[in-house]
Copies of this chain bind each other. A is one copy, B any other.
Amino acid sequence: MFEKRYAPVGSRPGTLVISEHSPQPSIKVIHYDESEVLEFSVSNADLLSDNILQLRACLEDQKTVTWVDIQGLGSEEVLLAIAELFALHPLTIADVVNVPQRPKTEFNDDYAVNIGMMAKILGDGRIDLEQLSVVWTRCFLLTFQERSGDVFEPVRERIRQGQGTIRKSGADYLAYALIDTKVDAYYPILEELGERLEDLETQIILSPKEESLQEVYNCKRELLQLRRALWPQREAISTLCRDESLFVKKSTRVFFRDTYEHIIQVIDVLETYREIAASFMDVYLSSVSNRMNEVMKVLTIMGSIFIPLSFFAGVFGMNFEYMPELKLRWAYPAFWIFILASIAGMIIYFRKKGWIGKANSNSK
């Protein structure tokens, strides 16, 4: 439940905390301008030696865009080397590594940072959230992902094929394309959750089971988790379409406004889902009460009819010597008539109360 990677209390600001479960960084570079695209990997060893002339060359060319994508945060050495290469502030690299950081957007004199949560649906239906940090200047862009695997393949394809304006625009447009894609990736997740809620709704209203309760609870937990990831991202994206900055051109800001509307819509749907899931609990409790009512009615009807009758049968089984009615020839048939009349009377009474006769209803 608590998953924050934090530095030992009292250690100095900017201390990195590398989990032993974090995969080793894998670094891929896409370098493009309007006319050509160059893709290559950088090995960690290259990065740590001085053998990264190619990357440095990319960065010095002011007319192209260089996207350095780092997947995996498992090596302090490599991350510090990158921080040094791109002149990142110690607090920035700490924000990137000590996940999860609260989503935010920050501009400083040298670069812009946007930290957010990227969501994927895993094979078993669970939602996987991982931190995505995007750092960009005018001509290069860094992405840091916790694990390998992301939702950006279509963007890479757009760069390769030169569709639309992506190749003609700067690093800020690439930042937009990535952040927008990250936000849009919540749509299929909401769709999936919507379907689960719809199934649950049918189940709870038609035939509530004890497992339904747990499933409602799980849904609520997942919605809570998404909510916690989304609200601060909304704020972070709002900063991008509002604040004047060197690193977001005016033409790009229009696109960020579109992204902002998308995230507001995602949050709207999420809040609606939360309200629906909350009302499931009420419906479930009402159903349980209703079913208990039904159980009690069966017992009450059976008990109210046969307990008194047993008493009468018991009376005539008594061994008193002087019970004159036992001798009477018509006494036994009369007993049965009395019994049947009693049963009929009780049934009429319960039917009048609405407890029987309409087998599946609980009307009073």
A residues sitting closer than 8 Å to B (CB atoms) are 1-2, 4, 6-13, 91, 101-102, 104, 151-155, 158, 163-164, 166, 177, 180-181, 184-185, 187-188, 190-191, 193-195, 197-198, 205, 207-211, 213-214, 217, 220-221, 224, 228, 232, 254-255, 258, 261, 264-265, 268-269, 272-273, 275-276, 279, 281-293, 295-300, 302-311, 313-323, 326-327, 329, 331-332, 335, 355, 361-364
Contact = CB atoms under 8 A, between A and B. Distances in A.
Contacts of A12: 158, 163-164, 166, 177
A154 B12 CA distance: 9
Given A191-B2, A293-B288, A313 B304 contact: no
A198 to B, nearest CB: 5
Main secondary structure of the interface of A (DSSP, over half): helix
A304 B293 contact: no
Contacts of A308: 302, 305-306
A225 to B, nearest CB: 8
A274 B195 CA distance: 25
B293 A9 contact: no
Contacts of A166: 12
27 contacts: A2-B191, A2-B193, A9-B188, A12-B177, A13-B258, A101-B261, A102-B264, A104-B261, A207-B364, A213-B286, A213-B287, A224-B272, A224-B276, A285-B289, A289-B289, A291-B293, A291-B364, A298-B300, A299-B299, A306-B311, A307-B307, A307-B310, A309-B311, A313-B317, A316-B318, A316-B320, A317-B319
Contacts of A208: 363-364
A164 B190 CA distance: 46
A155 B8 CA distance: 11
A299 B298 contact: no
Q: Sort A-B residue pairs by CB-CB distance and give the 6 closest, nearest first.
A: A10-B154, A313-B314, A2-B194, A316-B318, A299-B300, A1-B194
